[in-house]
Structure 1
Amino acid sequence: MAEVVLENVTKSFGGTVALDNVSLTIPDGSFVVLLGPTGAGKTTTLRMVSGLDVPDSGEVHIGGRLMKGLSPAERNVAMVFQQYSLYPHLTVRQNLEFPLKSPLLNTPRDLIDRTVREVAEVLQIGHKLDNKATALSGGEMQRVSIGRALVRNPQIFLMDEPLSSLDAKLRADLRIELKRIQAKLGATLLYVTHDQIEAMTMATHVGVLNEGKLVQFGSPREVYEQPVSVYAATRLGQPRINVLPADIFAGAPSGAKSIGLRPEHIVQGEGEEALVKRVEHLGDQTRLHLNLKRHDLVTVTDAHTPLKGGETIRIQPSRPLYFDAAGMRLA
């Protein structure tokens, strides 16, 4: 595995700037997740690293080596896409060994067999090796697709929303599996998603992108607790952070235009009076949908709260985040 460095990378498609002077270091052995909406530049970053696209300016280094002019094969990277990209007429074993049969690798037969067995064991699909790909479930097909990348032992794994087409339970199961595999192999992994839960549960580092710019880069906890802007604050957290006028509570610092409150950072019992509009019981917790001075907000409370819609409570902020008129965080 290897450290990957992007230095001042810019890429445009026609009049659209997909990446705008992005500098990013993906540490060796890290699990980096790029977050942002459609058009933020996530997949373009992946393509810059893979060599599928070439930067207009800037440089990409993998393992300390400049990648300029090198093809994807020469970069020794492995990609996993949203779609399974398997050969349906081949068995699981044949799909897994296919990358190792490349003339460029010239892999000995015994090493191919051993590698396929080891990867199948890691992915817990050893009992499916002789099944046709068309006989697998969606989750099993994506495991095989991931396995096709794992057999390569590349410098970096590049994954473009590989779980987004799966149902909720499979996504949850494969999130755990993927993190386990990455940790076991010590792999360097760059993962693109718009799903904040994937970022919070799997990443060692999160890169928040917006309109081609890298807004913030840090651990999931750092981005969650110390966002640099309103935009970064809204990328992580479920329910989303409440963003309200700064003067809705007393004590806002000079220059504050808005206050950001995570749902768990709203304290009940004292402060401003708010109307309970709706109560959502979710088993392990309850969400309260409130209205405060004509502004809607969401907080969390005890799972067995007796509160009902139409009642009033008093609330006050705890650990508030303040932002200026441009949406940037105030110290």
Structure 2
Amino acid sequence: MEDGGYVGVSQPTDKKAIAELKGVSKRFGDVLAASDLNLSIGEGEFLSFLGPSGCGKTTALRMLAGFEAPTEGDVLLDGEVVNALDAHHRPVNMVFQQYALFPHMTVAQNIGYGLRQRRPRLPKTQIAEKVSKALDVVQLGGFEDRRTWEMSGGQQQRVALARAIINEPKLLLLDEPMAALDRKLRKEMQIELQDLQRQLGITFVLVTHDQEEALSMSDRICIMREGRIVQIGSPQELYDRPNSRYVADFVGTSNFFDGTVSDLSGELATVELDNGMSMQGTPGGDLTRGQDVSISVRPEQMKLHHQGDGIPVELHNRIFLGEHTEYLVNHETLGDFLVLSPRQSELAEGAFDVGDKATVSWEASAALILDRN
């Protein structure tokens, strides 16, 4: 497969590699948690590991941090193999999901904790100066004497970030740091994290199962499944050119129509659907006649009409979401699928109601034919 990477292969980056995984696997007894990971993370990059629970993304992060040693392969930082190097000796810091702040310490003491462990010891005045600068970076100036348990979840996260960046790590690892925040605060913190990453120039590696979080923040996303890397690319590449049904289903929302390839002549391929219909689409990789595939069509690529060309459908559900309206429609053969209608399009076309008869159309180029696995 091309355009986006595949199992065991790293998507190249034009930046200097600050961290690398080379043929890395990790076993916990009989469980293979990570398998043949090959990845190059560029200097100053914001990369996310994205996948469901148990896919190996946190294991990969912990091997970069030094909390786990690979069973096979090498972990490199700045070109040096660090398999045997303890976590506290690596130029890496980590922000945990629960932040791991010390409740008996003030904010300043929490942030300066790592500096106080350095040998030889830094002067207290130098530590205080660095703590003050770190607080300014995360917009918590004046909170030095607060206790962490007196602060909101968003403020605690900023304290954890300040504690991580004060040591000026080459690599900052983030293990689902926004999972405990409410939706509005999570959005705000996503923007702040991006601004902070650009300001500091530190390489960020985020682990998340939240596709929206990964899409909105990352330079590149590493999609994982059952311990393997299945595709690496920019958010737009993964959304527009997924290399399998799994990736298309995990990144964004899509409608799927299953079938087998019947014709490969020309730029478009023809698929005989399992329900007996034929449908044309654009190959999303190398295909063979008779191959089991899924046709993926994004809901926003579909157009809803009161009448005209298209397949006849009946509207079963309508959800108004402000900038667009989501419709669940039903076709007698294709079954139920989703259509997103932009607000501007609806104003021009006229409103639709549940129970209405309508037609749905889409361009063949919007139908991506993908490996079904």
Q: Report the TM-score when normalising by structure 1.
A: 0.93
Q: Which residue among 244, 251, 262 is the counterpart of 2:280? A: 251
User: CA deviation digits over 1:12-70, x for unaligned, max 9?
Assistant: 11221110101011111000000000110010001111111111100010011110210
2:310 counterpart letter in structure 1: G
Q: For residue 297 of structure 1, what is the aligned residue in structure 2?
A: 337
Runs of 4+ in 1 over 4 A off after TM superposition: 252-256
Distance, in Å, in 2 between the alignment partners of 1:60 and 1:147 is: 26
Equivalent residue pairs, number: 324
Helix, strand or coil at the partner of 1:126: coil
User: CA deviation digits over 1:45-103, x for unaligned, max 9?
Assistant: 01111111111100010011110210001112101111021111211111111111113
Distance, in Å, in 2 between the alignment partners of 1:134 and 1:87 is: 9
1:321 aligns with 2:361: no
User: CA deviation digits over 1:222-255, x for unaligned, max 9?
Assistant: 1111111111111211xx1111135355325754
Q: 1:2 to 1:100 in 2, by over 3 A?
A: farther
State the identity as a percent. Answer: 35
Q: For residue 149 of structure 1, what is the aligned residue in structure 2?
A: 164
Q: Give 1:110 shift.
A: 3.0
Q: For residue 211 of structure 1, what is the aligned residue in structure 2?
A: 226
Q: For residue 266 of structure 1, what is the aligned residue in structure 2?
A: 302
Q: Give 1:316 shift.
A: 2.1
Contact 1:266 1:315 in 2 (8 A): yes
1:107 aligns with 2:122: yes
Contact 2:96 2:177 in 1 (8 A): yes
- Farther-moved stretch of structure 1 (92-101 vs 110-119): 110-119
Distance, in Å, in 1 between the alignment partners of 2:110 and 2:358 is: 59
- Farther-moved stretch of structure 1 (264-273 vs 196-205): 264-273
Q: For residue 254 of structure 2, what is the aligned residue in structure 1?
A: 241
Q: For residue 315 of structure 2, what is the aligned residue in structure 1?
A: 276
Q: For residue 39 of structure 1, what is the aligned residue in structure 2?
A: 54
Distance, in Å, in 1 between the alignment partners of 2:297 and 2:93 is: 40
Distance, in Å, in 2 between the alignment partners of 1:38 and 1:251 is: 35
Helix, strand or coil at the partner of 2:177: coil
Distance, in Å, in 2 between the alignment partners of 1:131 and 1:57 is: 45
1:281 counterpart letter in structure 2: F
Distance, in Å, in 2 between the alignment partners of 1:140 and 1:182 is: 17
User: CA deviation digits over 1:191-233, x for unaligned, max 9?
Assistant: 0000011111110010000000100011111111111111111
The structure number with the bigger radius of gyration is 2
Q: For residue 128 of structure 1, what is the aligned residue in structure 2?
A: 143
Q: Which residue among 118, 121, 129 is the counterpart of 2:133? A: 118
Q: Give 1:267 shift.
A: 2.4
2:187 counterpart letter in structure 1: A
User: Could you list the runs of 5+ residues in structure 1 that have no partner in the other structure?
Assistant: none
Q: Report the TM-score when normalising by structure 2.
A: 0.83
Contact 1:5 1:24 in 2 (8 A): yes
Q: Which residue among 335, 347, 354 is the counterpart of 1:309? A: 354
Helix, strand or coil at the partner of 1:3: strand
Distance, in Å, in 2 between the alignment partners of 1:273 and 1:321 is: 21
Helix, strand or coil at the partner of 2:186: helix
